[in-house]
Every structure is written in structure tokens, then in C-alpha cells.
């Protein structure tokens, strides 16, 4: 019954994410190209916020997942409450520092920090509430809010800006306001299903979880999440400094389309996080190893179909759009970063295994190396080559593959498990062969026909062979449920 609940959550989580992604893709190809400079500014502010909010949370969201399974009901409540208090206190401290720094910092773009702060504040609470929703297995509605509201609000704001109903500052403020609407709705939902007890004495909590252990874990989690965001968001800072906000907009169109491939992974990692934590605390390494392979195989299967379809059809698809001239520069970015996403999906929930184990400190080392490598590669490609934003994409590709390989090796050495088996390797081989065959098919002069033939054949053949060979359990599970009524 519990397995069915998990499958149901993964299914609805994925559907919600794809609805959000569909809105995002439509906006990216039809609306955002008309003002790539403003898109670059929005992503610049968003990247600042993404770096500020882990400081506000300070590992409290990860600690909520990590310590939750072992606590009494009363202290589970206290743990959630402590996360709220932490965010409020640290947010006030950060605001004071930013206001103080305004007097001494001579940096033209420092003004954007004050747009990033309220956005970061809302993101910090959204992250905490999302983790609590995961713990109480009520993730579908918060996911709907998180994935749909920002995706709807930004294109609406863009349309108002393009039609001159808003100026750029008002549009930026409206963008930040949409996240406070998201926060309000998410808070109302979580508190409806999970009531906070009165009192803010955390003595009982820290009698069950030693305060030193809590802060140690939270600090290392903070360093890991902050380092990861810094490593993966550094391009949004460096592109405007070395190139322009417009180039940043072009790059982010590629990022937005490429990262939409990762939606199934996002949902699965969020849903499995408490289960991974429980497996590790109960010495269920054998069961964890099975789930590791099962989820990695499923994510590769989904990611491989999406990625190969994108490579085969992206140019033909863009040629059908009125914004082709504004989108064509993003194609190499989509292909490079899309492979990044596919590789990350194919290695399964390796970050979660490390984060919720006693070896969580390894994440700090890996993230530190990743950050340094990514900054160095970005500087090299931006200053020593003429590749521009394509060089930034190469930097991300090299850094992320190195990062994931280091985690795979570490998990194998410490736990003796890998996310691969014989069927997985067969699946990789089959997908590669099908993709190459579809890629070398002669180009059709009709753009729509070319798109349908190559993408259609690629998708149908991969799904058919995978289903017949029973290489991916979830594919057979859902297809059999769908087909069963028609067989009777």
C-alpha cells in the first residue's frame, strides 16, 4: 500500500512539474526572447536570492528531514518550529549587514541585493514548508503552488512590461511579490494539515537531539547547499560582468529549457528523501541499493527520451516559431546543459545518500572542489577564448560530470552500492543505438514532418523495446495498469 502511495506521489509530482515546465517552455520560446535584457536582470536577482536563502535557512530544512524520523511527535513539532525561528532571526541579521554594507561597498550592481533579499526571505520559508510537507506526505499541493505560481506570474509580468503597462523596476517588484503569494498559500496549506503546538522552549528537542549534533549537521548542510548554489549560479554573475545582461538572458533561455528535463528527478528526490534517511538510520543498505538502481534507471530512461528528442528536434521546432532568430543562439547551450542534466539524473539520488548519512561532510569537500573548478573554468572560457556563453556551458558540463563521478566513487567505497546493473547498461546501449540511427536519417525539407519522424521514431522505439525487455519496473507498472482494462 505504501509502495502504491509512493508511485502515486511520484506520478502526480511529475505531472505537476511538467505542467509548470510546459508553461515555462511556452513563455521561454514565445515571450522572454522579446526582452532578453530584463530576463538577464531577473535571473541575476534570482541568483543572488538563491545564494542568500541558504544562509537564512542555515541547514534547518535539511535537518528537518534528517532528524525527523527518530523524534517523538512533540519534538517533531519543535524541530519544525525551530526552523521557523532560525529563518526569522538570521533574516534580520542579514538585512542589517546589507544595510550597513551599502555605506562601504562601491559596486554598481549592489542595488540588486535589496531586490534579492525579500525574494530570498520568501524562498527560505518555502524551502522549510516544502520539507515539512514531504515529512507529512502532503507534497502534491505545495508542489503545485511552487511550480505553477512563479511560472504563470513571470510571463504575465513580461507581457505587462512589453506592452508598457509596467516599467522594469515595477516589473521586478511584481516578480518578487509573486513569491510572497506562493509563500502565503504554502504556509496556509501546511498549517492546515500540521498544527504547531504552543510554546517556544526547545529544551525537550535538544534533550533528544544533542544541540552540538544538530548544529554540526545543519552547518555542514548549509555549506553543502550554499556551495552547490554558488557553484551552479556563478554563471549568472559572471556573464553580466564579462559580457552583458542580454547575454545572460540568452544563456538563461538555454538553462530554462535544459533544466526542464530534470523535472522527474526533482520530484523523485524530494519524495524519496525521508525514505533514504530511514534506510540509512535502520541499516537498510540492501534495500537502499535496490531503490538506488531502480530510480536511477527510471530517471535515465525518462531523461534519455527527453534529451535525445531535444537534440533531434530542437532546431526544427525553433524554425516553426516567430522567435527563431532570438532563440537560435541558445541551441548549443540547451544541448550541452541538457547532457549535464541527463548525466545527473542517470546517477540517481547520490547527493541524498551522502547528505543523510554519517558521511555528510564529504559533500562539503566535493562542493568546494566543484565551486573552485567551475569558477576557474568560467574565468578560463570567458577570458581566454572567444566562445562566450558556449564556453560557460562547457565549464558547467565539465564541472558537474566531475562532481557526480566523485560522489559515485565515494558511495561505492563507503556503502558498496552503485546505481547500475546489467539491465541499466543494456538500456544505455539501446538508447544510444536508437538515437544514432534516428540522427543519421535523411533530413526532410518539411520542418514539421522532419520533427515528427525523427522524434516520433526515437520515442516509440525506445519505449517499445524497454517495455518488452522489462528493463524499467515503473514503465511496465504504469503501462500494464493502463492496458489492463482493454485486455478484458
Residues 51 and 226: beta-carbon distance below 8 Å: yes
Query: Are 267 and 334 part of one and the same domain?
Result: yes
Judged on CB neighbours under 10 Å (0-12, 13-18, 19+), 136 is middle
Query: Are 368 and 436 part of one and the same domain?
Result: no
Q: How far apart are CA 82 and CA 56, in angstroms?
A: 13
Beta strands in 120-247 (DSSP E): none
pLDDT for the residue numbered 61 = 86
Q: What is the grid cell recorded at 81?
A: 518550529
Q: How far is CA 272 from the centre of its chain?
A: 15
pLDDT for the residue numbered 487 = 61
Query: Are 416 and 445 part of one and the same domain?
Result: no
Q: How far apart are CA 195 and CA 211, in angstroms?
A: 24
> Of the candidates 421, 256, 405, which has an alpha carbon nearest to the alpha carbon of residue 344?
405
Domain boundary among 397, 420, 443: 420
pLDDT for the residue numbered 1 = 44
Residue 163: strand, helix, or coil: coil
In total, how many domains does the chain have?
Answer: 2
Domain boundary among 377, 394, 420: 420
Q: How far apart are CA 470 and CA 280, in angstroms?
A: 29
> Of the candidates 364, 356, 50, which has an alpha carbon nearest to the alpha carbon of residue 223?
364
The phi and psi torsions of 31 (rounded to 5 degrees) equal -115, -55
Domain boundary among 398, 420, 442: 420
Residues 381 and 395: beta-carbon distance below 8 Å: yes
In order along its 488 residues, the chain shows pLDDT tens digits of: 445 555 566 666 667 777 777 787 788 888 888 888 898 889 889 888 988 988 998 888 888 888 887 788 888 888 889 999 999 999 999 999 999 988 887 777 888 999 999 999 999 999 999 988 888 878 778 888 888 888 899 999 999 999 989 999 999 999 999 999 999 999 999 999 888 876 777 888 888 888 888 888 888 778 777 776 666 677 777 888 788 888 888 888 888 778 777 776 666 676 677 788 788 878 788 888 888 888 889 889 988 999 999 999 888 888 888 878 888 888 899 899 899 889 988 988 888 888 788 887 887 778 778 888 888 898 899 888 888 889 989 998 898 898 889 999 999 999 899 888 899 999 999 999 999 999 998 888 888 888 889 999 999 999 999 998 989 888 887 787 777 666 65
Query: Are 217 and 286 part of one and the same domain?
Result: yes
Query: Are 245 and 278 part of one and the same domain?
Result: yes
* Residue environment code for 52-78, b if the CB has 16+ CB neighbours within 10 A, otherwise e: bbbbbbbbbbbbbbbbbbebeeebbbb
For the segment 54-105, what is each residue's pLDDT rounded down to a tens digit?
Answer: 899 888 888 888 888 778 888 888 888 999 999 999 999 999 999 998 888 7
Query: Are 478 and 350 part of one and the same domain?
Result: no
Query: Are 321 and 462 part of one and the same domain?
Result: no
* Residue environment code for 250-262, b if the CB has 16+ CB neighbours within 10 A, otherwise e: bbbbbbbbbbbbb
Query: Are 336 and 432 part of one and the same domain?
Result: no
Give the count of alpha carbons within 13 A of 365, CB side only: 8
Query: Are 445 and 403 part of one and the same domain?
Result: no
Query: Are 448 and 336 part of one and the same domain?
Result: no
Query: Are 78 and 24 part of one and the same domain?
Result: yes
> Of the candidates 85, 78, 89, 83, which has an alpha carbon nearest to the alpha carbon of residue 61?
83
Q: Dihedral, CA atoms, 439, 440, 443, 444, nearest 10 degrees?
A: -80
Q: Which positions ≥6 away from 104 have C-beta within 8 Å?
A: none
Query: Are 65 and 121 part of one and the same domain?
Result: yes
Q: How far apart are CA 283 and CA 275, in angstroms?
A: 12
End-to-end CA distance of the chain: 24
Q: Domain range holding 470?
A: 421-488
Amino acid at each position: 500500500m505504501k509502495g502504491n502511495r509512493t508511485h502515486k506521489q511520484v506520478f502526480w509530482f511529475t505531472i505537476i512539474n511538467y505542467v509548470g515546465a510546459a508553461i515555462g517552455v511556452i513563455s521561454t520560446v514565445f515571450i522572454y526572447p522579446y526582452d532578453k535584457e530584463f530576463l538577464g536582470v531577473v535571473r541575476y536577482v534570482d541568483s543572488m536570492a538563491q545564494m542568500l536563502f541558504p544562509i537564512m535557512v542555515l541547514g534547518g530544512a535539511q535537518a528537518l528531514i534528517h532528524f525527523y524520523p527518530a523524534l517523538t511527535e512533540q519534538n517533531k513539532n519543535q524541530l519544525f518550529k525551530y526552523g521557523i525561528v532560525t529563518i526569522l532571526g538570521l533574516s534580520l541579521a542579514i538585512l542589517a549587514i546589507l544595510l550597513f554594507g551599502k555605506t562601504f561597498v562601491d559596486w554598481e550592481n549592489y542595488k540588486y541585493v535589496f531586490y534579492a533579499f525579500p525574494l530570498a526571505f520568501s524562498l527560505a520559508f518555502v524551502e522549510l514548508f516544502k520539507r515539512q510537507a514531504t515529512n507529512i506526505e502532503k507534497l502534491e499541493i505545495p508542489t503545485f503552488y511552487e511550480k505553477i505560481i512563479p511560472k504563470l506570474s513571470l510571463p504575465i509580468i513580461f507581457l505587462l512590461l512589453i506592452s508598457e503597462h509596467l516599467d522594469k523596476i515595477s516589473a521586478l517588484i511584481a516578480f518578487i511579490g509573486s513569491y510572497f503569494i506562493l509563500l502565503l498559500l504554502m504556509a496556509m496549506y501546511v498549517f492546515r494539515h500540521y498544527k504547531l503546538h504552543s510554546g517556544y522552549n526547545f529544551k525537550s528537542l535538544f534533550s533528544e537531539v544533542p544541540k552540538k549534533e544538530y548544529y554540526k549537521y545543519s552547518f555542514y548542510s548549509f555549506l553543502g547547499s550554499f556551495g552547490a548554489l554558488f557553484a551552479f549560479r556563478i554563471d549568472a554573475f559572471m556573464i553580466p560582468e564579462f559580457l552583458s545582461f542580454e547575454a545572460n538572458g540568452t544563456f538563461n533561455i538555454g538553462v530554462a529549457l535544459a533544466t526542464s528535463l530534470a523535472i522527474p528527478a526533482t520530484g523523485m528526490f524530494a519524495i524519496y528523501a525521508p525514505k533514504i534517511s530511514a534506510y540509512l538510520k535502520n541499516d537498510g543498505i540492501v534495500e537502499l541499493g535496490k531503490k538506488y538502481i531502480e530510480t536511477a534507471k527510471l530517471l535515465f530512461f525518462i531523461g534519455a527520451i527527453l534529451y535525445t528528442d531535444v537534440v533531434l528536434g530542437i532546431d526544427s521546432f525553433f524554425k516553426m516559431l516567430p522567435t527563431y532568430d532570438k532563440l537560435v543562439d541558445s541551441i548549443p547551450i540547451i544541448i550541452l546543459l541538457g547532457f549535464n542534466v541527463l548525466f545527473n539524473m542517470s546517477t540517481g539520488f547520490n547527493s541524498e545518500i551522502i547528505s543523510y548519512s554519517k558521511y555528510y561532510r564529504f559533500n562539503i569537500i566535493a562542493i568546494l572542489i566543484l565551486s573552485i573548478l567551475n569558477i576557474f573554468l568560467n574565468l578560463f572560457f570567458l577570458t581566454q577564448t572567444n566562445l562566450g556563453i558556449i564556453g560557460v556551458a562547457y565549464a558547467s558540463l565539465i564541472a558537474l560530470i566531475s562532481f557526480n563521478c566523485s560522489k559515485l566513487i565515494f558511495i561505492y567505497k563507503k556503502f558498496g552500492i552503485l546505481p547500475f546493473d546489467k539491465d541499466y547498461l543494456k538500456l544505455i546501449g539501446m538508447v544510444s543505438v536508437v538515437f544514432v540511427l534516428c540522427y543519421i536519417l535523411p533530413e526532410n525539407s518539411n520542418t514539421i514532418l522532419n520533427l515528427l519522424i525523427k522524434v516520433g521514431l526515437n520515442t516509440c522505439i525506445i519505449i517499445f523495446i524497454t517495455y518488452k525487455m522489462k528493463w524499467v519496473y515503473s514503465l511496465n507498472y504504469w503501462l500494464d495498469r493502463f492496458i489492463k482494462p482493454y485486455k478484458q
